[in-house]
Amino acid sequence: MSDDGTGTNNGNVSPKGNESETSDEATDHMVTAGTELSTPTCTTGRSSTSIALDNVLEEDPNDNNKEDGNGDGNGLHSLVDKSSDKSSDDETEADEDEAEDTDDDDDDDDDDDDDDDDDDDDDDDEIPPRLKYSRLNQLLSNFFTKDPISACAFHDNVLIFATHTGILHLVRPDYSVLRTFKAHKASILLVYTDGLYFASGSMDGTIVIGSIRDEKDIIAYDFSRPIHAVVFDKAYGRSRSFISGGMSGKVIYSTKNWLGQRVDTILEEGHGPIVGIKIIDDIVFWMNDKGITFFDISNRLIIHTIEKPKDSPRGDLYWPRVHIPEANRILVAWGNYVWSLVVQSGKLNEDNNGLHNNSAGSGASSIYKVLPSTASISFRTSIVKKVEVEHSFKFDDALICGISTFTNDSLLLLIFNPPTFLENDQGVMIPTYNSPDVRLVNATTGELEFEEEIGLKNAKGLGLNDYKLGTLIDNKSLPKYFIISATDGVLGEQVLLYDQLQWFISKERYLEAWRITEHLLPRVKRLNLGISHVDSLVSKEKWQEAANFLGSLLEVEYSDLPDNFTTVSSISTEEKDVYTREVISQWDAWSRIFIESNHVGEIATVIPTSPKLNLPKHIFNHILEHYLKTDQDEFIRLLTTWSLDLFDFKSIETQLEEELELKSSNTKLRITLSELYVNSYEPTKSVPHLVYLKDPCIIQFLFKHHLLTTYQEKLPEFINLRFNSKKKFETLPIPELEDSLSDIIDILVDSRHELLPNEIVKLFFKSRMDIVNYFYLQKLMSVDDFLVQSFGNELVKLYSQFDKAKLIGYLSSNNNYEIERAIELCEANEYIPELVYLLGKIGENKKALRLMIDKLDDPETAINFAKHQNDKETWTILIDHSMDKPKFIKALIEDSDELLSQFYDPIDILQRMSKNVEVWGLNNSIIKFSYNNELNLVLNQLIYQLVVKNTEDLSEYLRLDRIKGFEINIQKLFSKGFINENDSIILLKNHKGELSYLNEASLIDIKHKAVFTTLTSKYDHLEQVKRQIKQKNSP
């Protein structure tokens, strides 16, 4: 509950000259100070007078205002008025009617105006309302008319209105009158209620306190000076204690003694008139010229004082406004200052003698005598409250006549607008009175968030204290804000999403309406709002903006669509089905509009390209045809990006073929058409275009699409496409050529079961591309050598042509070629090493040696050949033909070893060589030969020693093995008289050939030494046994 019971004392508003009938009837029941009140005669009733409101919008049919009795169903802006003076009801109604007529005429003119865009821009800049208003038309008919309102209070249980004639109106929350009576003789300056009792203070110095439900429970007190503020202490129903203040400048705590008499205690005085008193729990605070003083009733402490800013307006002219939103938070607005305060708990300081922060002022000593503290009647440590300022800020352009919370981070302020003065023709300054503004500010910084003027009626002569802002918070509904002046009353409520939606629609601001309805409207209805926005953009020729928004508006979740692109009927839920069908319908309609309006580019960038939507194919065909004529790069981009399921690709292929017939040099289009054929599963149609393009990767294309067998005969031609000319192919170095053809060779090898190797080899020999065969057979041999067995002669020829170094290796490791043809080939090319090998292979050793000696002049090769042949005749031929060749003589001497000693002796060669033959380095060769012989002798000796040592070791091992004992089964051979089965047994044969035996346990005295492990001990033991046996056998 939040109430504002302040009245006016500046004379801005005086009571009407003639009191209402209600006032006359209540005069006889006026409260007499200090006496119990008799039951007054109450007048009740409900006014049916309607007030003309301008700019009324149709109300939400689900609005609860009618149920609450809040006016006659006025809309959001019914009371938002920028007019300056509303001096009378008749003038107001006439102005409103005239304004409505003028608005209608303006609307008609605007339809034909060429400046619609400027008007739309102004509308777009207009901030949507944050509150909606309605007049309090459900109150009595004479409310605000004959008897101006001077004070009011609002609670969940009751609404209280007081007048300048002393009348109190107690009204239920549904605006039905509870009772009405005259409580004071003069103007009522304040009313206060806790929901059970009410209190009113008057200019006549009296305070009236009564029960809301019990008309008989009422009493009046006379304090002789005008009363500005009064509040109840906690549990007033039991204690009957209250605090009051006014023009006397005293804050008085009033209670009853045990005799039922009123006892007053002055809490503070001497700091000017008291202009406000409020209480929160057991903290009471008051406002005067000193500032804001906080007093802890339980501990009799002034716990905090906020000094009144020096630059603030006079406090007695501009009364403070207080709102208590929570049990520990206080909002105070005074003049142009706002304080946000928080109440916290803490322990009482034992050194504190009763005052905190500031002196209690005069009369403080009397407080302690009359007000017993919790600490004085309890031995426990008392809890004292602390008040801290959370935020405070100052407004340089505003005087505040009401404060409340709006949202968690916003405050609602009622701003008083002082009158403005204009000079008339006679030079007299005429005041113009303005209605107050509603301002929303940030609760932390005071930064302005929203502001608008409220069109209250008859603001003439009203000052800041004549305006009140009361807040009624009901858990069942949103907070209600009562904006009350002496002559008018308005109920403000927070604008709901539905209200904002209606406002945006009325302003044709469909984008904002669409944004706020994400969780408010069904998807299809919200979609229609977005379509309206697109329509408005198109009407303003904003096609690109319309297309961009259309792309986000008509977006669907592809997970809701079926995997196949037949229809959307398989979507799980009916709502999604309906929505998706509507999206498809809208895409179809708007695509036609954009295409027919020649705005294809705009729609092409946003249209969805998922086949699941199953949009009509003609849309995409139109877009592609447009770009084929205007922007072929964009055409190619779209064609390569879009799925073939989106458009009729047969039609596009036909158009591309026609275009290429006219412009055959258009490479980009030809490539695109080739790719289109591939994507449409017609790769065969792509081949002529790839040949035209001289595509170097055409063979890869054929391999990928299994077309190699179809174009087998053209493989040589396709290979030549990789080179600029056939001459380049023939002159390119073999390593570079191999690198260039490696991928093609790999394909041919991988396709060996489709393209038979025999056919491939014939094809390339026929095309005089032997090098391709060489690369092909080489690769095929590494992958599947069985397939190469029939190509021995071809390989010999290819090696001889392109890689002679590998020829000898192939000849020596294979037998699948004709030796005669190979010999002819080697003789024709003078390949001597290969020819030597082949001659040796067929037994022509002499001829082979002669070639090596005469042609090659290579002693090493000749010696190796002789070693390979390993026969005496070959060595004889080699030595005979080497006697007149120094290189051969030297090589034979140096290479001689023990293995060759069976074929020749180096000394014989030295003896046979002619004295006329000079062998360079012969001395070194002989030394080397001798050194090698000596070295061989040393090695042989070392080897001999190793053999001897191993032989000795083995012989010793054999000897030891023969003399060592062995285990026998004594259970089978001997009697069971042995004590220890592990004893050694000694067998002896006498002269008769009989065996006698002894165990070592019977011969050894120390039994634990009976078993011997080492061989030496065993020998010693046996000798001892022999001696003992001889002794026993001796006579």
Instruction: Record the pTM.
Output: 0.57
Whether pLDDT at 845 is above 80:
no
**737 within a domain of the structure (yes/no):** yes
234 and 361 both lie in a single domain: yes
The answer to which of 227-236, 375-384, 650-659 has the lowest mean pLDDT is: 375-384
719 and 610 both lie in a single domain: no
Mean pLDDT of the chain: 79
In 379-499, at which residue ranges do the beta strands (DSSP E only) sit?
A: 383-394, 399-407, 410-416, 420-423, 429-432, 437-442, 448-453, 468-472, 480-484, 489-494
Quick one: pLDDT band at residue 511, thresholds 50, 70, 90? very high
Quick one: pLDDT band at residue 753, thresholds 50, 70, 90? very high
Q: Give how many domains the chain has, as a whole number.
A: 6
Quick one: pLDDT band at residue 999, thresholds 50, 70, 90? low
- Answer yes or no: are the C-beta atoms of 180 and 42 closer than 8 Å: yes
228 and 267 both lie in a single domain: yes
**591 within a domain of the structure (yes/no):** yes
**998 within a domain of the structure (yes/no):** yes
- Out of 590, 614, 638, pick the residue that ends a domain: 614
Each residue of 235-258: pLDDT tens digit?
898 889 999 999 999 999 999 988
pLDDT of residue 75: 42
What does the DSSP 8-state code read for residue 156?
S
367 and 279 both lie in a single domain: yes
pLDDT of residue 73: 40
Whether pLDDT at 1006 is above 70:
no
Lookup result for tokens 């961009």: 548
- Answer yes or no: are the C-beta atoms of 148 and 489 closer than 8 Å: no
Whether pLDDT at 438 is above 80:
yes
284 and 370 both lie in a single domain: yes
CA distance 486 to 12: 10
**35 within a domain of the structure (yes/no):** no
> What does the longest C-alpha to C-alpha distance in the chain come to?
183
Residue 351 in 3-state DSSP?
Answer: coil
CA distance 148 to 104: 35
pLDDT of residue 303: 94
Q: Are strands 242-246 and 262-268 parallel, antiparallel or unpaired?
A: unpaired
Quick one: pLDDT band at residue 411, thresholds 50, 70, 90? very high
- Out of 651, 666, 693, pick the residue that ends a domain: 693
pLDDT of residue 186: 96
- Give the tokens for residue 808: 């000898």
- Answer yes or no: are the C-beta atoms of 76 and 132 closer than 8 Å: yes
**625 within a domain of the structure (yes/no):** yes
Q: Which domain holds residue 728?
A: 694-783
Each residue of 608-665: pLDDT tens digit?
988 888 889 999 999 999 999 999 999 999 999 999 999 998 999 999 999 898 888 8
Closest residue by Cα to residue 805 from 755, 855, 734, 874 = 734
Whether pLDDT at 495 is above 70:
yes
Strand partners, 342: 329, 388
Whether pLDDT at 582 is above 60:
yes
- Answer yes or no: are the C-beta atoms of 163 and 24 closer than 8 Å: no
- Answer yes or no: are the C-beta atoms of 786 and 772 closer than 8 Å: no
Residue 389 in 3-state DSSP?
Answer: strand
- Answer yes or no: are the C-beta atoms of 462 and 485 closer than 8 Å: yes
Closest residue by Cα to residue 130 from 496, 509, 545, 676 = 496
CA distance 294 to 301: 8
pLDDT of residue 1: 47
- The mean per-residue pLDDT over the stretch 998-1020 comes to 55
227 and 373 both lie in a single domain: yes
CA distance 533 to 52: 34
Percent with pLDDT over 90 in the chain? 44
The alpha carbons of the chain give a radius of gyration, in whole angstroms, of 61
Length, in residues, of the chain: 1035
CA distance 366 to 383: 22
pLDDT of residue 102: 42
**Rounded to 5 degrees, what are φ and ψ at 147?**
-130, 100
Half-sphere CA count of 510, side-chain side, radius 13 A: 17
229 and 374 both lie in a single domain: yes
Q: Locate all alpha helices (DSSP H) within 663-769, ordered by sequence.
A: 667-679, 687-692, 698-704, 715-720, 726-731, 734-750, 757-766
Whether pLDDT at 530 is above 90:
yes
- Give the tokens for residue 741: 């053809």
Closest residue by Cα to residue 887 from 907, 854, 859 = 859
pLDDT of residue 837: 84
Instruction: Name which residue leads in pLDDT, 614 or 884.
Output: 614
The answer to which of 133-142, 243-252, 380-389, 526-535 has the lowest mean pLDDT is: 380-389
pLDDT of residue 91: 39
CA distance 604 to 586: 15
Each residue of 117-156: pLDDT tens digit?
555 555 667 888 999 999 998 887 778 888 899 999 999 9
Supply angle C-alpha 548, 517, 559, rounded to 5: 65
Contact partners, residue 917, CB within 8 Å, separation at least 6:
883, 884, 886, 889
320 and 369 both lie in a single domain: yes
Whether pLDDT at 14 is above 60:
no
873 and 728 both lie in a single domain: no
What does the DSSP 8-state code read for residue 244?
E
The answer to which of 21-30, 202-211, 266-275, 575-584 has the lowest mean pLDDT is: 21-30
pLDDT of residue 405: 95
Whole-angstrom CA distances from 988 to 834, 976, 991, 1010 are 81, 19, 10, 19
The answer to which of 72-76, 177-181, 685-689, 857-861 has the lowest mean pLDDT is: 72-76
- Give the tokens for residue 997: 């035996």
**978 within a domain of the structure (yes/no):** yes
Supply angle C-alpha 293, 298, 300, rounded to 5: 55
Instruction: Name which residue leads in pLDDT, 868 or 592.
Output: 592
What are the DSSP calls for 27-76, one per residue?
A: HTTPPPTTSBPPPPPP-----------SS--PPPTT-SHHHHT-TT---T
What does the DSSP 8-state code read for residue 190?
E
- The mean per-residue pLDDT over the stretch 331-344 comes to 96
974 and 898 both lie in a single domain: no
Each residue of 182-215: pLDDT tens digit?
999 999 999 999 999 999 999 999 999 999 999 9
Contact partners, residue 31, CB within 8 Å, separation at least 6:
37, 182, 183, 184, 206, 208, 218, 220
Closest residue by Cα to residue 204 from 193, 190, 194 = 190
CA distance 500 to 130: 8
Other beta carbons within 10 angstroms of residue 965's beta carbon come to 11
CA distance 413 to 540: 40
CA distance 464 to 88: 20
Whether pLDDT at 977 is above 70:
no
606 and 672 both lie in a single domain: no
Closest residue by Cα to residue 5 from 246, 337, 179, 351 = 246
- Answer yes or no: are the C-beta atoms of 81 and 433 closer than 8 Å: no
Each residue of 711-747: pLDDT tens digit?
999 999 999 988 877 888 888 888 999 999 999 999 9
699 and 744 both lie in a single domain: yes
**919 within a domain of the structure (yes/no):** yes
Each residue of 66-112: pLDDT tens digit?
434 344 444 444 455 433 333 334 433 434 444 444 444 444 444 44
**195 within a domain of the structure (yes/no):** no
- Out of 324, 352, 378, pick the residue that ends a domain: 378
